[in-house]
Amino acid sequence: MELYHGSNMIVKKPTIIIGDRFKDFGVGFYTTSYREQAVRWAHRVLSRSAGAGEYVNLYECDIEKAKRELKILEFPIADEAWLDFVVANRRGKPYNESYEIVIGPVADDSVYSAIKLYETGVYDLSETIKRLKTEELFNQILFHTERSLEYLKFIKAVNKE
């Protein structure tokens, strides 16, 4: 499976990234199977930090082998379990399970607006899920451990500038 990582640099050797803000699935190395999503991520990263450009890094991953050998949590759709997981991570509450890879939809800015309204009590669970179903959700694949990173093989990087 081809996976992409948007960045402000070429990332030949992925590492676990511990950022200064809380993300959907926690800390780790985020990838996607959608090139256009990685392009957006590269633009966002460059706008927040210094770098040489907007890079889309391409990797090959034997995801089927990883599913057999690693502990993976997968959310096929944005449902209640996914919402609870994302909200907990975005609040900085680490999850108790030791997942090595987490796969599921991205809570982008428009999706996150619905999540914020859910967190503040404006939307209930059913209204939030209904609104999430109307959004086009890209995926994200988080590599959460050093061991999981061994399943990524760098292919190339393309500068988007």
**CB neighbours (10 Å) of residue 44?**
15
Would you say 5 and 11 are in contact if contact means Cβ atoms under 8 Å apart? yes
Give all strands (DSSP E) within 2-151, no chain letters: 2-7, 29-31, 55-61, 72-74, 101-105, 139-143
Pairing relation of β-strands 139-143 and 29-31? antiparallel
Residue 52's contacts (CB-CB under 8 Å, 6 or more residues apart) are 8, 9, 159
> What would the pLDDT profile of 112-137 be if each residue is shown by its tens digit?
788 888 888 899 888 888 877 766 67
Please provide residue 154's backbone torsions phi and psi, each rounded to the nearest 5 degrees. -65, 135
Coil, strand, or helix at residue 60?
Answer: strand
> What would the pLDDT profile of 49-101 be if each residue is shown by its tens digit?
766 688 999 999 999 999 999 999 999 988 889 888 888 888 888 666 689 99
* pLDDT of the residue at 134: 60
pLDDT band per the 50, 70, 90 thresholds, residue 34: very high
